[in-house]
Chain A
Amino acid sequence: MDDKLLIGEKKLCSRLFLGSGKFSNNKIIPKIVTKSGAEVITVALRRVDFQSENENMLDYIPNECVLMPNTSGARNAEEAVRIARLAKASGCGNWVKIEVISDNKYLLPDNFETIKATEILVKEGFTVLPYMSPDLMVAKKLKEVGASAIMPLGSPIGSNKGLKTKELISIIISEIDLPIIVDAGIGKPSEAAEAMEIGAAAVLVNTAIASANDQVGMAIAFSHAIKAGRIAYLSGIGSVREFAEASSPLTGFLNL
């Protein structure tokens, strides 16, 4: 069965998206990509040193990967749009992950500014994947303005707390006909599997891999977990019963 993930014009085999911001050495990125099979990698434009001959992190992104610049550092829609345009003008392609954060205490995204930035950049031909706090009305609006996918947070960036917003993400998955990619806060492969089991299209992981003692090993673990969660979802997970099924059900007399 063809279970590729369609986003924009891309057909992706891997549902693990990688963050690139916290690694101890960019040289590890190609190995992580190869071993985990990840096909999409997000890069903060604020960190890309286009002038450097030997420290430009884009040089470590394998050519076969889809590069998804993010607008980290943007405090409002205007800044996000400017960063996206700069990224495109610098040759980073037309995918963009919108990150508008005006909260340096919890790093929670500003949903309203995210909607504004999405609308502008979609009209300019970008494939836009907005990062947001899970809110159904905001997700509807993002779809309406042309987002190619939606990226709700699992829990705050860097917290590794897992799928704290599971219920809200489940609702968005049920109601919005777009790939829903859980981003931020996924701390363990089992949490990534959990996200996939409820129907997420993919999971983006940064801190949990970068902070691991064995970064490559952890990336592999996430890759397996995401595949397992996806297969489980497609196979149909059995319903959870509140009570045990009695050997003599109460309505068994009707069959007598």
Chain B
Amino acid sequence: MSFYEIYKKYEDFNIEEYINGLDEKSVLSIFNKESISECEFLALLSSKSDKYIELMAQKANKLTINHFGRVMFIYTPMYLSNYCVNQCIYCGFNVKNIIGRKKLEIDEIEREAKYISKKGFRHILILTGESRKYSPVEYIKEAVKVLRNYFDSISIEIYPLNQSEYKWLIEAGVDGLTIYQEVYNESVYEQLHLSGPKKNYLFRLEAPERACEAKIRSVNIGALLGLDNWIKEVFYTGLHARYLQDKYLDTEIAVSLPRIRPHVGEFQPKSFVSDKDLVKIMTAFRIFMPRAGISLSTRENASLRDNLIGLGVTRMSADSSTKVGGHSVDNESDSQFDISDNRSVEEMKDLVYKKGYQPIFKDWQSI
């Protein structure tokens, strides 16, 4: 069995009808429960919970402080390569986009790593486009071997691998995987991924499970909000996260809530996710999965990110660049998407302390 069976079970679930049938009493009763069901999670995402948003925020705040403390984990991404063979119509790295393509050589990776680690980062998230020619698994392994000299823990956000490839990278020093399904709706997925290996919906969907079977330490999933009806997509994300947590108890599960941002290309989002919607998503998710991490990237602007601290976020990126080698040099490669929060790591540290939280940079080390 895989998560696909769970997805299929709910594929034809009439979410609108379920939401329309909710009354105020049933929504309010959710706040008295310690553990909520998938449908109660859906109720919290719906417009029926709008008047309870402050109550959701208070509960999410309390749960996050109890389970994670007043700490905020800070990390940064490092793009190794933007060569990509996929034609994903919403992405700046789309193979059809005429952009500056670049791949870091090993000495450039080391330069980038030195630069980033001097700023105090102890965890690095490495990203590539999908190209088995320019960024094969062997290249990523070589990169990890260098990065281990500079960082205590390493996560990957790359194309989906098979289980033995994940095991290979874990043995090299990778302890975390980030992979977004982009969109759970199978027919929308088909429409958005026109060519390339990423067309394979199931292979991507089951990637987190293969990594868990390979005994990866942590998995971070999500959907790119805006590609389809956001309530449905967040609902599926929650189902997926809970499925992984229940099946792979020894893997730390986290979610990201990325909203689609301006990028090279003409794609326009189908579904608009407002700031209020994002607050509801975050707080509802925290209530649904009290011990799962929630990650917030620099896709969001500084002011919103500041206000989201305390509402469930446990990890934030800082000092980000979505350009290949974009930390240490100004180069000609194009970015995957526009960053909204350009604050430096020192500015982020100050902000986190001001909010009454402690910024932490290290939460694991290779043993």
**Nearest B residue to A103 by beta-carbon distance?**
B249
Least CB distance from A109 to B in Å reads 12
- Cα(A158)–Cα(B362), bound, Å: 20
Q: Is the interface of A mostly helix, strand, loop or mixed?
A: loop
Q: Is the CB of B250 within 8 A of A47?
A: no
Check A46 against B362 for contact (C-beta < 8 Å). yes
A213 to B358, CA, bound (A): 15
Complex Cα–Cα for A60 and B36 (A): 39
Q: Are A49 and B367 in contact (CB under 8 A)?
A: no
Chain A residues with Cβ under 8 A from B131's Cβ? none
Q: Determine whether the beta carbon of B69 is less than 8 Å from that of A55.
A: no
Minimum C-beta distance from B108 to chain A (A): 23
A210 and B70 form a contact (CB under 8 A): yes
B66 contacts A211, C-beta separation under 8 Å? yes
The size bracket of the interface on B is: 20 to 34
CA distance A158 to B64 in the complex (A): 9
How many Å lie between the Cα of A46 and that of B362 in the bound state?
Answer: 7
Residues of A within 8 A of B71 (CB): 21-24
B345, chain A: closest CB distance, angstroms: 12
* Nearest CB of B to A234, in Å: 33
Q: Which of A152-174 contact B (CB under 8 A)?
A: 157-160
Answer whether residue B67 sits at the interface, using C-beta atoms and an 8 A cutoff.
Answer: yes
A174–B358 alpha-carbon span in the complex (Å) = 41
Q: Of A22, A23, A46, A107, which is within 8 A of B365 by CB? A: A46
Q: Confirm or deny: B65 has a beta carbon within 8 angstroms of a beta carbon on chain A.
A: yes
Q: Does A251 contact B (CB under 8 A)?
A: no
Residue of B nearest to A159 (CB): B66
Q: With contacts A55-B120, A104-B250, A207-B69 known, is A24 near B364, CB below 8 A?
A: no
The A-contacting residues of B in range 49-72, CB under 8 angstroms, are 65-71
Q: Is the CB of B252 within 8 A of A158?
A: no
Q: How many Å lie between the Cα of A159 and that of B65 in the bound state?
A: 11
Q: Please determine whether B362 and A24 come into contact, CB atoms closer than 8 angstroms.
A: no
Least CB distance, B336 to chain A, in whole angstroms: 30
A107 / chain B contacts, CB cutoff of 8 Å: 291
Q: How far is the CB of A155 from chain B (nearest CB, A)?
A: 12
Question: B358's contact among A24, A51, A157, by CB below 8 Å, is which?
Answer: A24
| Chain A CB within 8 A of B146 CB | no
A105 touches B246 (CB 8 A): yes
Residue from B122, B291, B353, B367 within 8 A of A79 (CB atoms): B367
Q: How far is the CB of B240 from chain A (nearest CB, A)?
A: 15
CB distance from A61 to the nearest CB of B (A): 15
Per-residue contact bits, chain A 67-85, to B (CB 8 Å; 1 contact, 0 not): 0000001010001001100
Residues of chain A lying within 8 A (CB to CB) of residue B152: 49
B window 353-367: CB within 8 A of A:
353, 356-358, 360-365, 367
Who on chain A is nearest to B362 by CB? A49
Contact B250 A24 (CB under 8 A): no
Cβ proximity bits B134-155 to A, threshold 8 Å, 1 near / 0 not: 0000000000000000001000
CA distance A22 to B363 in the complex (A): 12
| Complex Cα–Cα for A107 and B358 (A) | 22
Q: Is the CB of B360 within 8 A of A104?
A: no
Of A26, A46, A82, chain B has the most CB atoms within 10 Å of the CB of A46
- B250 interface neighbour in A52, A55, A75, A207, Cβ under 8 Å: A75
B229 within 8 A of A: no
- Asked whether A22 and B362 contact (CB < 8 A) given A104-B250, A105-B245, the answer is no
- Contact between B250 and A105, CB atoms less than 8 A apart: no
In chain B, what residue has the closest Cβ to A207? B66
Q: Which of A21, A104, A160, A207 contacts B291 (CB 8 A)?
A: A104
Contacts of B66 in A (CB 8 A): 158-160, 207, 211
Chain A residues contacting B125 (CB-CB under 8 Å) are none
Question: Which one, A47, A82, A106, contacts B363 given CB within 8 A?
Answer: A47
Instruction: List residues of A (34-54) whose CB comes within 8 Å of B's CBs.
Output: 45-49, 51-52
**Given contacts A55-B361, A79-B367, are A104 and B69 in contact (CB under 8 A)?**
no
B251 interface contact, C-beta 8 A: yes
Indicate whether A25 reaches chain B with its CB closer than 8 angstroms: yes
A83 touches B367 (CB 8 A): yes
B260 CB–A CB distance under 8 Å: no
Closest to B68 in A: A22
Q: How far is A226 from B332 in the complex, measured between Cα atoms in Å?
A: 63
Shortest CB distance B119–A (Å): 11
A contact residues around B365 at 8 Å (CB):
45-46, 86
* Residues of chain B within 8 A of A21, CB atoms compared: 69, 71
Q: Does B253 contact A (CB under 8 A)?
A: yes
Chain A residues, CB < 8 A from B68: 22, 158
Distance (Å) between the CB of A25 and the closest chain B CB? 5
Which residue on chain B has the smallest CB distance to residue A27? Answer: B358
Q: Are B245 and A46 in contact (CB under 8 A)?
A: no
Q: Do A25 and B353 form a contact, CB below 8 Å, given A55-B120, A210-B70?
A: yes
> Does A102 lie at the interface of the complex (its beta carbon under 8 Å from any beta carbon of B)?
yes
Contact B252 A104 (CB under 8 A): yes
Say whether B363 contacts A86, CB under 8 Å. Answer: no
Chain A proximity mask over B249-269: 1 for CB below 8 Å, otherwise 0: 111110000000000000000
Not counting A102-B249, A158-B68, A211-B66, a sample of 5 additional A-B residue pairs whose C-beta atoms are within 8 angstroms of each other reads A22-B68, A45-B365, A73-B364, A104-B249, A157-B67
Q: List 23 A-B contacts (CB under 8 A).
A: A23-B69, A23-B358, A24-B69, A24-B358, A25-B358, A26-B358, A48-B362, A49-B362, A52-B120, A73-B217, A73-B364, A102-B249, A104-B245, A104-B250, A104-B291, A105-B245, A105-B246, A107-B291, A158-B66, A158-B68, A159-B66, A207-B69, A211-B70
> Which B positions have Cβ atoms within 8 angstroms of A?
65-71, 120, 122, 152, 217, 245-246, 249-253, 291, 353, 356-358, 360-365, 367
A-B CB proximity, top 3 nearest:
A22-B69, A24-B70, A102-B250
